[in-house]
Amino acid sequence: IDFSDVLQVDVYELGRTYLRLSQALCINIPAMDPCLYVMRFAHKLEFGDKTHEVSMTALRLVSRMKKDWIHFGRRPSGLCGAALLIASRLHEFCRTVTDVIKVVKVHESTL
């Protein structure tokens, strides 16, 4: 997502190119841990003083998703977005799906 912002390239096109390149060069890079994105996305959603609390709840949700194997086949940013949406509502913040989609840059159906 960061590369696509800097390069001004569609994130899906960049992903397709990355997959083709990694397959052609036989590079096996492990998937990113969704927990790495939670704090960054939480700051962008502007929870104020409760940013840490909301992100910790989201981290607990993501770890539970991983225990239940819900994370398999899903994009890390989509998992973080879903966890942050649920965590924000648990902490009584009024964040809409559209707000979260703008930050994590996934489609509504992915979230």
C-alpha span between 13 and 11 (Å, rounded): 6
Q: What is the pLDDT, as a whole number, of residue 73?
A: 75
pLDDT (average), residues 53-75 = 88
Q: In this structure, what token pair is assigned to residue 55? A: 């992100």
Pairwise CA distance, residues 30 & 15, whole Å: 15
pLDDT of 28 reads 81
Cα distance between residue 99 and residue 63, in whole Å = 23
pTM: 0.72
Q: What is the mean pLDDT of residues 40-60?
A: 92
Q: Report pLDDT digits (tens) over 78-90.
A: 899 999 999 999 9
pLDDT at 87: 94
- Find tokens 């809409």 and name the residue: 96
